[in-house]
Amino acid sequence: MSAVYDLTEEQRAIADTVGAFADEHLAPHAVDWDRDKHFPVDVLRKAAGLGLGGVYVREDVGGSGLARLDGVVAFEALATGCPSIAAYLSIHNMVAWTVDRHGDEDQRSRWLPRLCTAEHLASYCLTEPGAGSDAAAITTRAVRDGGHWVLDGVKQFISGAGAAQVYLVMARTGGPGPRGVSAFLVDRDDAGLSFGADERKMGWNAQPTRQVRLDGVRLPADRLLGAEGGGFRIAMAGLDGGRLGIAACSLGGARTALERALAHLGDREAFGARLLHAQALQFRLADMATELEAARALLHRAAAAVDRADPRAPELCAMAKRLATDSGFEIANQALQLHGGYGYLADYGIEKIVRDLRVHQILEGTNEIMRVIVARGLTGAA
């Protein structure tokens, strides 16, 4: 690769293949899935057939073994069809990568093959009703009982909850603060696991969001992922990758919105001329395209930093997530405005993209927390 932002022939092939899949299997159904609150598990399994169920997982257990830069190219392309479905698959991959990276060989061989095929879907369970941005303050507790762990607590805003088979749960095994947190693998069939009602949301309606409730969930010792007390570090490492995925999904949604705005302005006339010929609107389109390109460049730089284990990678991931999700939402919102009244109609699909992208500024760490991470990198503050 001559520069971070130039795609290799293989990466262009990934973009083309995944983009064609999104055009065929996601885009034609996205508005209906949103309206009907339908979670298309069958389509997720078709995506896994392209290798998108275990994008970053090593090949010996069925993964694709791709780099982070390859992954953001894939998720941007997938999100052009439906940001909600692409974002869920990004979360599923965050769990799969975490198991691959931190699991022992028995855990990898037990959990990952069916995650990679999406026979089993996964959910990431960190946030709680009283612990969102302050993730180190979680109160879900895991108590050792002989050769088992017993988990009690509630997780909030969990994507895929109820439909997923595998739940990566962060629970407190020690004292206050990050060092008292451990990571566990919970199966949907474990006794004591239940779910709240499907949340009514502004967007992301094509994937379920529910509470995950743990009431005396008794797990064998081999469900502990990594070392006891290492859960917070595991969770944060996963979120670096998750932020790249969500950023990429924002760019994919924004790209579709921009393309539709261009097509709409090319078709519409006002005051005897095509709207696309109005310089004021051309300037707005130019700004949208510039913001999209700038966010993509930073995202690719951050992904490359993760791939080479750059010490600045967490800071760059935070920068990229903040810029891509803010810019992505604003581009989609501008595209809605350029559609006039048509942009407000559900059948045109623009208002859905706006609603879907809005939550990207909140999840995987709010954009305010992204600024905290960047500021700490600048100032050296703890």
Positions marked active-site: 364
Angle at 250 between CA 247 and CA 255, to 5 degrees: 130
Helices within the chain (DSSP H only): 9-21, 30-36, 41-48, 68-79, 83-102, 105-116, 231-267, 279-307, 313-338, 350-358, 367-379
Give the amino acid at 124: Y
Copy the structure tokens of residue 137.
Answer: 């303050």
C-alpha 152/C-alpha 171 separation (Å) is 8
Helices within 268-349 (DSSP H only): 279-307, 313-338
C-alpha 4/C-alpha 320 separation (Å) is 14
Angle at 172 between CA 170 and CA 176, to 5 degrees: 125
